[in-house]
Structure 1
Amino acid sequence: MGNKKPRPGKTLSHGPPENQPWFWVTKAMLGSITYRALGINARRVLDAALYEHMSHGGAENGNLGLTYDQLAAWGVNRADVRKALAEVFATGFLRRTREGAFTLGGRIQARYALTWLPTGVWPGGGPATHDWIEVLDRLGKAGIGSVAQAKLWLRAEVETFSRSKPAGQKQKLAPHLKIVRTSNEGRVR
């Protein structure tokens, strides 16, 4: 934004809109090769996570729930959810903070955090982890410097993540996908 002066009778506001939930994103993040390499379904997953974040007044990052039904409402086909999640995990824009599970009482929903925003206000919340920057640094060291190269890298990462395992074996995540274990209360430790 430039230093525009408002015309007489007009005012310029460079702050957030009044009475509307909002979020911030940096130019560096939007311009990163990893953000631009994301597929449409991965972008829809991020949009859904941002909407969920704003729906909780920005106080629940790290405790954001995203169900298949919610993602379908955002236009992600159920068959594409795992791949879309793998893309946002691999690029470091979204982190799973709690794995989902089946229990006698029902299903425990997985929880997520947007990594460029601080996590919730509860004990255990903290500053933004900026995982996406770590991923960019690693790609730079590997000589990956264009969107086309990042797309090829991302495709390989998603294939590694998405390979199905025989029944009874746990899905092995790529080494950079960190999952934070939670206490019984479901809060991030």
Structure 2
Amino acid sequence: MSGAGARKVDVTGRTTGKTKRHKPLVNLPSNQWLSIPREMLESPAFAALSAPALRVLMRLCIEHLEHGGAENGKLKVTHSQFVAFGIGHNSVKPALIENEALGFIEMMQQGGRSFGDTRLPSQFRLTFPNSRNAPQTHEWFAIKSLDEAKDRIARKKAEWDAARPKRPNRRPAYKSGSIAGRAEAARQRNSGAA
């Protein structure tokens, strides 16, 4: 007899009454998991997430799991960790803003640049999992339409742009491609080199 549930046989060829144990076909994942409500996955806020914003959210979920679900509100993920997870260098901050605008995360502490031994990563809180430190708030649930979600994202990004310090334009404005503009740029380069 062969196949699933085949019986063991002894040296004489007679069955022993015991079935063979089969190895599992796949390795099962670890016992860590995170409950994501179906309502959240079907919500207009979730539908409005861009690909980088979804990756940011998943990276924060992984960080939550790495701490056994006990550190929500103190989740520390650095810019370089987001980049290593596959989020573009220039997409990290806009994706964080998007997640915060849609109510999936809350930034508890703004991080800063790293200099030498000084490290100050941002700290985050996920709004949908239950934990000891931070209750579920489900801020994403207040968004009722895709247009409302897009408006929230646009407003939050506009606030961020307005609050950012403006860098002075380091290059003079020349008409690109014009002969006069190229000649002026060449004169400035030559006078600076002399």
TM-score normalised per structure 1: 0.64
Q: Distance in 2 between matches of 1:80 and 1:62?
A: 23
Deviations 1:147-169 (A, max 9, x none): 3x2463144134314315326xx
Structure 2 residue aligned with 1:107: 119
Task: Give yes or no for the alignment of 1:47 onto 2:46.
Answer: no
Partner secondary structure for residue 75 of structure 1:
coil
Partner secondary structure for residue 52 of structure 2:
helix
Q: Number of aligned pairs?
A: 138
- Comparing 44-53 with 95-104, greater Cα deviation is found at 95-104
Alpha carbons 2:102, 2:149 under 8 Å: kept: no
Q: Distance in 2 between matches of 1:85 and 1:18?
A: 28
Deviations 1:76-121 (A, max 9, x none): 11111110000000000010111224699613211001011234x4
Structure 2 residue aligned with 1:88: 99
Structure 2 residue aligned with 1:130: 138
Deviations 1:9-44 (A, max 9, x none): xxxxxxxx7742100011111111011100000000
Cα gap change, 1:159 to 1:131, in 2 (>3 Å): same
Identity of aligned residues (%): 30
> 82, 106, 116: which is aligned to 1:71?
82
1:106-185 equivalences under 5 Å are: 106-119=118-131, 121=132, 125-134=133-142, 136=143, 140=144, 145=145, 147=146, 149-150=147-148, 152-163=150-161, 165-166=164-165
Alpha carbons 2:43, 2:141 under 8 Å: kept: no
Structure 1 unaligned segments of length 5 or more: list them.
1-16, 168-189
Structure 2 unaligned segments of length 5 or more: list them.
1-27, 167-194
Amino acid at match of 1:166: P
Amino acid at match of 2:64: H
User: Over aligned residues, Cα RMSD in angstroms?
Assistant: 2.5
Structure number with greater CO (CA < 8 Å, separation at least 6) is 1
Q: Distance in 2 between matches of 1:47 and 1:118?
A: 16
Deviations 1:40-71 (A, max 9, x none): 00000001000111111111111111111111
TM-score normalised per structure 2: 0.62
Cα gap change, 1:26 to 1:80, in 2 (>3 Å): same
